[in-house]
Chains A and B, each alone.
Chain A
Amino acid sequence: MPRKSHVTDNSPQSEEVYRDIVDHVLEGIIVIRGNQVLYANPMASEITGHARSAIEKIALIDLIHPEDQGMIRDFQQRRREGNPIPSRYDVRIINAHHEMRWLTLGQQYLEWNGLPATLCFFSDITDNKRLQEELKHSLMEREAILQTAQVGISLTANRIHQWVNRAFADMVGYEPHELIGHNSRRHYPSEESWQQLGELADEAIKRNETFTTEWPSIHRNGKLSWVRMSAARVSADDPSKGIIWSVLDITNHVQAEVEMREALAKQQQLNQMKSRFVSMTSHEFRTPLATILSSAELLRHYRDRMPEQEQEGLFVSIESAVKRMGLMLDNIITLGRADSDRLEFKPTLIDLRFFFESLANETAAAISTPDLLSPELVMNLDTSVTSAWLDENLLRQIVNNLLTNAFKYSPNGGKVRFDATLENHVLKLKISDQGIGIPAEEMPNLFESFHRASNVGNIPGSGLGLSIVKKSAEMHGGTVEVSSQVGRGTCFTVKLPTRALEPLNG
């Protein structure tokens, strides 16, 4: 052992060098035999607080902190029995100022004045110990905070999880150890989504900013959620220290927001419908009311001066105005029932040819006014159109409203075509005109109650017809389709499934 050989070298020159080293070394050095301190260097005196002359009079065990005295006695015992003891350990002492100090200590056996002795060298590590304790404590505190936090927290480097807290692991459905060491791709809905987020975050992080966004996230069970996440460098000036992410599940907020927006839109729609209803009723009811009132007053005040035939005409106009209002009320009630699911559906066996022919002619006649160009009605009922089980009232509403519209919105005449086929238990009605058409931007609201297209001009109408057509078709489990071109014409196609079970004798 080199140290031993140096110590036992007793040439005067090496003695001097040795003393110089021992006096100036930054470790405390003492030589002991049993409990007796034989030698102490200046640093040993500084660390223990005892003068070098005093130190040699102190029993070693008295320097040791009472709690560590047992350990030292144990070492002494083992030493006597020839058992090995650690060559390096930490021990507490009580210094001359009655303060506890931590020492880290190594020992070596040697001969001192011809007898075996122990050389102890030690340094004061009290400050290190305290820092270590504080660090341990603060790490434990931090761990507790991170683990109990409601937000998910992850530390990543190159998008690989270095550490995640419980909340983060729960949020994505994995155990922390299943995430750590793996990249974050797994809890993104797609490769693109993962890449895109990475690029966005990188940009902000490179500028040393905190990146915040709302992003979709996918749970291990496949369920999609929305999270609000923030990311920032752990160390502002050292990107290699990684990025800390905090993640909050906002799916419920997003959901609530969506629902709120929908409710608001629905409310606005209702309000619009209400105001359309008010302006429609205002016009559509006031006109027949004006007819009734003026006719009644004429009869009351000027009856004597009118021939019988003219009086009769006034009664007729009162009656038809009342009918017109009654029909409009029926329409409103029908819609009201449909909206509250109280519309009746009572299919009966209908002779379709007779039904369509008489209804079409009736409608065409009712709508035609002598002073306007009336379109020509072209009917084409396929031979397959015989009889079917359908609700007569609802079918009447469909055909009547579509034909009325076709005529009404064809101010320049042209042809109104009515085609019908009955194949595979589906009655297909096609009603087309060469009229003013429907602007494309009106299509989404076309079937809404009280809604009328922007290009109707002064053509009267309640905005109820198509709404009723749609409800009536739906009551049959059928559909309504529309195609239109402004200035060219409109084509409605209604498909109604007819009852599959037909009675034996038609």
Chain B
Amino acid sequence: MARILVIEDDPTIRANLARVLRFENHEVIVAEDGHVGLQAARTECPQLILCDIMMPRMDGISVLNALRPDSQLSVIPFVFLTARADRAEVEAKLTFPADDYLIKPFNLQELLAVVNRQLENQRKLYGLSDSR
């Protein structure tokens, strides 16, 4: 079980993601735009962040660019949820790479595979226990 932050402006997709992750026994924090998401990343100590790219007020690229320079927050695995197929264009705007991408529409299997792999890597790297 992990603490996961979902930053997504589309209310249905946000709610569905939260449902799935909760059914899979994770603790989920949701944010409806980049601005709120960045605040939550700072205060809620998530172990994984799933973040949409195109959002009002503050987009996903700005969120990641704001998180990476912070030594505490930069270790949190960061996965982009994107409707865009042009990944190269997104990467060009990033100062630091994201840990992974999920291209919409993604299915349950893909989502859980990415989530589990990122959490697993995190455990191996920092030896954090499941029950942190």
Q: Which residues of A contact B (CB under 8 A)?
A: 279, 282-284, 286-287, 289-295, 297-298, 301-302, 305-306, 310, 314, 317, 321, 371-372, 411, 457-460
Contact = CB atoms under 8 A, between A and B. Distances in A.
Contacts of B16: 291, 294-295, 298, 314, 317
Contact of A301 (B10, B32, B84, B108): B108
A302 B105 contact: no
B70 interface: no
Contacts of A411: 56
B12 A317 contact: yes
A321 B11 CA distance: 12
Nearest 3 CB-CB pairings of A with B: A290-B104, A294-B16, A286-B83
Interface in B45-98: 54-57, 59, 83-86
Given A290-B104, A317-B16, 6 more contacts: A279-B86, A286-B103, A286-B104, A291-B12, A294-B16, A295-B16
B104 A459 contact: no
B106 A458 contact: no
B105 A286 contact: yes
B43 interface: no
A294 B85 contact: no
B19 interface: yes
A458 to B, nearest CB: 5
A291 B13 contact: yes
Nearest to B59: A458
A241 to B, nearest CB: 67
A282 B16 CA distance: 21
Interface in B15-49: 16-17, 19-20, 23, 32
Contacts of B10: 287, 290-291
A287 B104 contact: yes
Nearest to A295: B16
Most buried by B among A286, A291, A294, A411: A294
Contact of B54 (A310, A372, A458): A458
Contacts, number: 75
Nearest to B9: A458
Contact of B17 (A289, A294, A317): A294
Contact of B83 (A290, A302, A459): A290
B13 A283 contact: no
Most buried by B among A290, A293, A302: A290
Contact of B23 (A282, A302, A317, A457): A302
A459 B57 CA distance: 9
B107 interface: yes
A292 B84 contact: no
Contacts of B13: 287, 290-291, 294
A287 B83 CA distance: 6
Contacts of A306: 19
Nearest to A301: B108
Contact of A289 (B23, B56, B105): B105
A283 B23 CA distance: 28
Given A286-B105, A294-B13, A279 B84 contact: yes
Contacts of A284: 83
A317 B12 CA distance: 7
Given A289-B105, A298-B20, A282 B83 contact: yes
A458 B83 contact: no
Contacts of B20: 294, 297-298, 302
A378 to B, nearest CB: 24
A293 B106 contact: yes
A279 B54 CA distance: 13
26 contacts: A279-B86, A282-B83, A287-B13, A287-B83, A287-B104, A290-B83, A290-B105, A291-B10, A291-B12, A292-B105, A294-B17, A295-B12, A295-B16, A297-B108, A305-B23, A306-B19, A310-B19, A321-B12, A372-B56, A411-B56, A457-B56, A458-B9, A458-B54, A458-B57, A459-B56, A460-B54
Contacts of A283: 54, 83-84
Contacts of A314: 16
Given A457-B56, A458-B54, A293 B105 contact: yes
A282 B103 CA distance: 10
B84 A282 contact: yes
A279 to B, nearest CB: 7
A365 to B, nearest CB: 16
Contacts of B19: 298, 302, 306, 310
Interface in B104-126: 104-108
A309 to B, nearest CB: 13
B12 to A, nearest CB: 4
A251 B110 CA distance: 64
Contacts of A301: 23, 108
Contacts of A287: 10, 13, 83, 104
B113 to A, nearest CB: 14
A447 B16 CA distance: 36
B77 to A, nearest CB: 21
Nearest to B20: A298
Contacts of B104: 286-287, 289-290
